[in-house]
């Protein structure tokens, strides 16, 4: 019995065998080792993705907290950016005193990146209640001011003379980062 196979079939069969061997070699030499690397890298990516989610949640919580604090303390933030104006201070708070005078104190060094300067005040008031009303109004002012103790009260006829020091805090701007400029008292 003679098998009659055409030349095209033999070429096709050898080409199919070569391709099958190539596919098997490619699968065992390239795909399977890279599959192991892929699985290892996929585990690493899953860990990194979970860490990323954790940090994104933390970032979102911090951002919400920051927004809440900024909205709650907007007045304080703007007060730090407002430059101190002694004439405006006198005009705004002279209603609490019969006489108010400001004298600039010694410039102090930067305290924790805030420019601080000292203002000495002397005023005549008709009762201690007006001084406490002044302190309440000072808490709602456009500046961050701390009134330093001692506050000296001395009686002069029907008025009380109050003398105290204030520290005014403000953010240093880029144009005047070393020392703030304070207008002379009138």
Give residue-wise pLDDT tens across range 95-148.
777 766 666 655 555 555 555 655 556 666 767 777 788 778 877 777 777 777
Tokens of 151: 């506050």
Write out residues in the chain with pLDDT < 70, as ranges: 1, 99-124, 126, 170-186
CB atoms within 10 A of CB 180: 16
Within a domain: 14: yes
Tokens of 121: 């005040």
Same domain (yes/no): 92, 164: yes
Same domain (yes/no): 128, 90: yes
Total number of domains constituting the chain: 2
Within a domain: 160: yes
What pLDDT was estimated at residue 180? 42
Same domain (yes/no): 100, 53: no
Q: Are 133 and 95 in contact (CB under 8 A)?
A: no
Same domain (yes/no): 126, 56: no
Within a domain: 184: no
DSSP code, position 115: E
What pLDDT was estimated at residue 16? 94
The secondary structure of 9-69 as a DSSP string is: HHHHHHHHHHHHHHHHHHIIIIIHHHHHHHHHHHHHHHHHHHHHHHHHHHHHHHHHHHHHH
What pLDDT was estimated at residue 120? 56
What pLDDT was estimated at residue 177? 41
Same domain (yes/no): 67, 31: yes
Same domain (yes/no): 68, 120: no
Residue finishing a domain among 50, 72, 94: 72
Query: The domain containing residue 121 runs over which residues?
Result: 83-170
Same domain (yes/no): 125, 54: no
Same domain (yes/no): 90, 150: yes
């Amino acid at each position: 019995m003679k098998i009659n196979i055409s030349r095209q079939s033999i070429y096709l069969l050898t080409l199919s065998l070569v391709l099958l061997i190539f596919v098997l070699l490619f699968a065992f030499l390239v795909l399977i080792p890279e599959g192991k690397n892929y699985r290892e890298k996929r585990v690493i990516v899953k860990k990194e993705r979970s860490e990323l989610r954790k940090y994104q949640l933390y970032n979102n919580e911090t951002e919400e907290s920051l927004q809440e604090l900024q909205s709650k303390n907007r007045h304080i933030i703007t007060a730090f950016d407002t430059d101190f104006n002694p004439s405006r201070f006198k005009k705004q708070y002279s209603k609490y005193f019969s006489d108010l005078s400001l004298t600039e104190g010694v410039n102090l060094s930067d305290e924790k990146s805030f420019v601080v300067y000292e203002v000495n005040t002397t005023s005549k008031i008709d009762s201690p209640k007006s001084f406490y009303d002044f302190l309440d109004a000072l808490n709602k002012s456009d500046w961050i001011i701390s009134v330093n103790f001692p506050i000296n009260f001395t009686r002069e006829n029907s008025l009380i003379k109050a003398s105290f020091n204030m520290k005014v805090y403000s953010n240093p701007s880029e144009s005047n980062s070393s020392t703030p400029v304070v207008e002379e008292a009138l």
